[in-house]
Amino acid sequence: MKPNVRDPNFPTRAVLNRVGDRWTALIVLVLLDGPRRFTHLRREIGGISPTVLSETLRRLERDGIVTRTAHAEIPGVSSTS
């Protein structure tokens, strides 16, 4: 039987849907240069709300396209008093 890529249950449809997302391509392009903190990523992309960026990053992580690393420290804040 010939594969039907128009079938919504076809396995590659998930990849096509993700790549076709409005912000995914921009996020992936920025991340090709290396890891970015959330605020830097948002600044570099421009025009994306924090909520949409978070949701898109979560989907990309869930789909195995990006990985996330949580850092305990806050950039620019010294841990010494």
Q: Is residue 48 part of a domain?
A: yes
What pLDDT score was predicted for residue 69? 86
pLDDT at 81 over 60: no
The answer as to whether 70 is a domain residue is: no
* 5 falls within a domain: no
Residue 39 lies in a domain: yes
Give the domain extent around 55.
Answer: 34-64
Q: Is residue 7 part of a domain?
A: no
> For the whole prediction, is pTM greater than 0.85?
no
Total tally of structural domains belonging to the chain: 1
Neighbours of 9 (CB within 10 A): 7
Query: Which pLDDT value is given to residue 33?
Result: 92
Residue 49 within any structural domain of the chain: yes
CA 66 to chain centre: 6
Specify the pLDDT at position 73. Answer: 74
Give the pLDDT confidence of 21-80 residue by residue, as tens digits: 789 889 988 999 999 999 999 999 999 999 999 999 998 898 888 898 877 777 666 656
